[in-house]
Amino acid sequence: MKQLLLSFLILLGFSGGTFAEDKKETVELFILAGQSNAQGWQGDAAQYPADPQGLDAKIRFWWVFPGNSSSEGKWTTMKAQGGRFPAGHFGPEVSLARKLLKDGHQNVAVFKYCQGATSIANNWKGPGEKGLYDDMAKQLKAAIAILEKEGLDVKVRGFFWVQGESDAQTPQMAVAYHARLKTLVDALRLKVLKEPKLPCLLGVDEKHEWVQKNPQVIEAQKKLAHELPCAVYCPSLKDLPKADTTHLTPESLVKQGEVLVAAWQKLTTHGARK
């Protein structure tokens, strides 16, 4: 009887080890997209935030600055990106990802696709219209496929959209913004990621000159955040110092990333609806 029990325990131990080895490592993927203040247009990497804890080396990072620079179709680690200043540039993704690690998230990956001065109407466009949205979707699928090929379990945890100023150029564009943004978000959630309740944070520079003249873009984001499941309007630029009339300073970009994480945490912990 003792020999039988010992054999059972040994078998159970081997089985447990096999199950542990077969269990996939989970990666939490966050998507950052939009125009200049998502990109970090004035985020001169000469002022890249110090990383005394070495967190950047633990963060997977894929970025695309359309028509300029990218991570060349592969995952790297968090760093400044080329294309703006001699030392490179950075946006809110740095502090966003670091904050997530500090708050206990183990495997964080950031997919960033941003370009300044872009509107949905003229640049991003809609699914199948060969604009920035289609390219972003293609890049995102490729990025996820690479992680999955490595045997990782990819959980897409959030979509941060910081854009809208360029769609406020004219009253006509501003009025059409709600339908255009809804089409983009729905396509990303339902067709690309198959995640109908993917946490979605929408934001725009409320003090931008064009937005002041055509605030329909603000109302569009607020309305969409109310209509969609697990979505929130997040004025992440509010009251943050700017380097010029439009773009956040490097210090403000750091703060913006922290504001975005706080809003995401509130949404996913307390505010998930429907």
246 occurs within a structural domain: yes
What's the domain count of the chain?
A: 1
Which structural domain, as residue segments, surrounds residue 219?
25-271
Rounded CA gap, 199 and 267, in Å?
7
The CA-CA-CA angle for residues 239, 237, 99, to 5°, reads 110
The CATH number of whichever domain residue 63 belongs to comes to: 3.40.50.1110
> Does the predicted model carry a pTM greater than 0.75?
yes
In a domain, 11, yes or no: no
Instruction: Give every CB contact of residue 41 below 8 A, 6+ residues apart in sequence.
Output: 84, 89, 116, 246, 247
On whether residue 256 sits in a domain, the answer given is: yes
pLDDT of residue 83: 87
Determine contact, residues 165/205, Cβ cutoff 8 Å: yes
What b-and-e string marks burial along 197-227, b requiring 16 or more CB atoms within 10 Å of the CB?
A: ebbbbbbbbbbbebbeebebbbebbeebbee
Give domain status of residue 184, yes or no: yes
Q: How many whole angstroms separate alpha carbon 269 and alpha carbon 235?
A: 19
The set of residues, in sequence order, having a beta carbon less than 8 Å from that of 162 and lying 6+ positions away, is 32, 33, 34, 35, 37, 38, 92, 203, 204, 236, 237
The answer as to whether 14 is a domain residue is: no
Encoding tokens for residue 212?
A: 């002041």
Q: Is 17 a member of any domain?
A: no
CB 59 within 8 A of CB 98: yes
The Cα–Cα gap between 162 and 31 comes to 11
Residue 20 lies in a domain: no
Tell me the pLDDT of the chain (274 aa) as tens digits: 545 444 444 444 444 444 344 678 999 999 999 999 999 999 999 999 999 999 999 999 999 999 999 999 999 999 999 989 999 999 999 999 999 999 999 899 999 999 999 999 999 999 999 999 999 999 999 999 999 999 999 999 999 999 999 999 999 999 999 999 999 999 999 999 999 999 999 999 999 999 999 999 999 999 999 999 999 999 999 999 999 999 999 999 999 999 999 999 999 996 544 4
